[in-house]
Structure 1
Amino acid sequence: MIKILLCDDHAVVRMGLKMLLNNHPELEVIGEASEGNEAIEKSLELAPDVVVMDLSMPHGKDGLSATIELKKKKPEISILILTMHDDEEYLFKAIQAGASGCLLKSSPHDELISAIRSVASGEAYLHPSATKRLMEEYLNTVKSGDTDHFELLSEREKEVLTLIAKGFSNKEIAEQLYISVKTVETHKSNVMEKLKMKTRPELVQFALKKGLLGYGI
């Protein structure tokens, strides 16, 4: 029996996936989560074999951040990323984050079942659009020890990082981006987690090196 935790911010999607997966005798959905923090908590509580994780969740912790944290706490859990983005960049980010597989939301149902079986058995599973070049690029990056954690950031997180480095407060950033202060704080937390940094000065130094302020060091 493969125990599965579903993480998606849409309840209807979770319901559909649960009905589909529970129709297979060797699969069992043991829990659900609507965002990354809840997925981490329930994974620690329920110990699933596979977490089916939505990549983009606007509220709470996103799929990439949750994958990074969960793999630190429970490296034995396999994570299958679901995404609507048929783009090598997103696939590469998922692999960097520690996911065992990545699948398009538009994929046929039988492909989802195959992907879950594969990652549950310790194998990797990538959608066919993830080419041989993607894997070669990733392996070369790992071997060289030159993983660029900046590429794990979403576009919104890069915007928040840039404004933090420019000295804006959370409230000012919220006003500029038309989001809540709480959302800014969540993005800031995700940025620091992905970049493995703990202080604002570290973020400023990083932003300078990346040329996010218009000039580098």
Structure 2
Amino acid sequence: MIKVYLVDDTELIRTGCAMVINAQPDLTVVGQVGSGAEALRDLAETPVDVVLLDIRMPGLDGIEVIHRLVAAPGPTPKIIVLTTFDLDEYALAALTAGAAGFLLKDAPAADLLAAIRSVHEGSAVLAPPTARRLVALLADRVERSDPAAAADLTDREREVVTLVATGAGNAEIAGRLFVSTSTVKAHVASILRKLGLRDRIHIVIWAYEHRFVRPA
């Protein structure tokens, strides 16, 4: 059972999300609050797997909540930003801070449920329009490549970085490289360790910021 926690200052949004999530056999909402400060107090004592987090809230905004959750001792839950505002700066700030996903509140319920399951399994999730613009933004932010940045990576790890940056999941990467999914997971873990990154979404950001890959 995947334990989900809701943080949104609009009660109607929380209620609707809770109804959709609790109707699933493998998902359950274990708590919900309307502010970032309440969330931080509650999450310090409530073990959860995935947090659905709004960006604009009274007091602490969603970005600051992400920073504090990541910095807190103990395991950090996977965080999906769920917002009304499809703004590149919000998406980039949230992902850089440590979020594993960025979805709009008008996304279909099926997309929300799929996102929760995906980030729980270690994948990253972005609303498609946001993803396309974010890739272009990241590609334009760095004027030159940095060959030394990938010096410690093996040839196979470089292949995995490229595939992760295109949005491929572990099963797809395994199929394309003719290896097992456990081998792919081991490569991803090694890449994260060597580059000092937190998760797959940061591999994507790193790849584009260092011009390791370029948008088609």
Place the TM-score, normalised by the shorter chain, in its bin.
Answer: 0.5 to 0.7
Q: Does 1:60 align with 2:59?
A: yes
Match of 2:83 in 1: 83
Q: CA deviation at 1:93?
A: 1.4
Quick one: distance in 2 between partners of 1:68 and 1:103?
Answer: 18
Kindly provide the amino acid, as one letter, of the partner of residue 66 in structure 2: T
Q: Which runs of no fewer than 5 residues in structure 1 stay unpaired?
A: 145-217
Q: Which runs of no fewer than 5 residues in structure 2 stay unpaired?
A: 147-216
SS at match of 1:46: coil
Quick one: distance in 1 between partners of 2:109 and 2:131?
Answer: 21
Q: Does 1:38 align with 2:38?
A: yes
Quick one: distance in 1 between partners of 2:135 and 2:69?
Answer: 23
Q: CA deviation at 1:134?
A: 2.1
Match of 1:2 in 2: 2
Report Cα offsets for 1:33-75 as digits up to 9, x if no partner: 1111111121121110000001111x22111110111111155
Comparing 20-29 and 74-83, the one that deviates more: 74-83
Quick one: distance in 1 between partners of 2:32 and 2:10?
Answer: 11
Q: CA deviation at 1:131?
A: 3.1
Report Cα offsets for 1:170-205 as digits up to 9, x if no partner: xxxxxxxxxxxxxxxxxxxxxxxxxxxxxxxxxxxx
Quick one: distance in 1 between partners of 2:12 and 2:133?
Answer: 36
Q: TM-score, normalised by structure 1?
A: 0.60
Quick one: distance in 1 between partners of 2:82 and 2:20?
Answer: 15
Paired residues in the alignment total 142
Superposed CA RMSD in Å reads 2.1
Kindly provide the amino acid, as one letter, of the partner of residue 14 in structure 2: R
Q: CA deviation at 1:138?
A: 4.7
Q: Does 1:105 align with 2:102?
A: no
1:119-198 to 2 correspondences below 5 Å:
119-132=119-132, 134-135=134-135, 138=138
Report sequence identity in percent.
39
Match of 2:17 in 1: 17
Is the CA contact 2:88–2:133 (under 8 Å) kept in the aligned structure 1?
Answer: no
Comparing 127-136 and 25-34, the one that deviates more: 127-136
